Structure formats: C-alpha cells, structure tokens
Amino acid sequence: MSQKSPVTTHILDLGGGKPAAGVSVSLYRVTEQGEKCLAKGITDDDGRVMSWFDTPIETGHYRIRFATGAWYQSRGLETFFPEVCLDFRVTDPDSHYHVPLLLNQWGFSTYRGS
C-alpha cells in the first residue's frame, strides 16, 4: 500500500533529538460498546506511520495507542508512561487527520497536524 491513510502519525523523540523509529502504534474506533482496533503499524525510520490502512474513515471518536514503554525498554531506558493514548474526533470523513506525538521519557505533547 503506497497511498496515505486517512489518519497518519509521526513521533519525534525529543530526548534523542530524532524520529522515534520502531514504535508500535494502533488505531481504534471508540464507541459506547468499547473500542475496536482498525489498524496496527510500526513507525518507519522517519518515525511515521503513513499507509497503515486504506479503508475510508467515518465520523466519530478515535484513539491512537503508542507502545512507548516497550520502545524505551528496548533501548534500556526508563519512562514514566508505559503507553500514550491520544483520543480525537473525526468530523469530516473526507479530511486527512495527522496526529503527531512529541515524546520524551517523562512527558509528551501533541497537536492536530496537517
């Protein structure tokens, strides 16, 4: 699959000063019945997951789960957050939703990207 997914992500490791390659990332649809996994991927050498699914996205509540604890552990580093979950709302299924993560061992930040 080479086309960009309707939802993409990018992780920058602020502590290391470079993209966070090799982080497991999962996308979920959240409903009153719970969450359903729609896609799983691993960040590439540039810290991105761009083409992890090719189905259309519907309006609603979504969650991206980043396996940050396992990633830091694989590097022999401690972290305060064993995972980072970012919830967001899709209001226009024809739009692209880019959800970046700025990460270090003790905190994180995010924003709606383009």
For position 53, what pLDDT does the model report? 86
In the chain, which stretches have pLDDT less than 70? 1-2
- Name 10's Cβ contacts closer than 8 Å, sequence gap at least 6: 19, 43, 46, 47, 48, 49, 98, 100, 101, 113
Structure tokens at 61: 């509540």
**pTM of the prediction?**
0.93
What residue ranges do the domains of the chain occupy? 7-108
For position 54, what pLDDT does the model report? 84
Question: Is the domain defined by 7-108 classed in CATH 3.10.129.10?
Answer: no
First to last CA, the chain: 21
Query: pLDDT tens for residues 36-65?
Result: 999 999 999 999 999 988 888 999 999 999
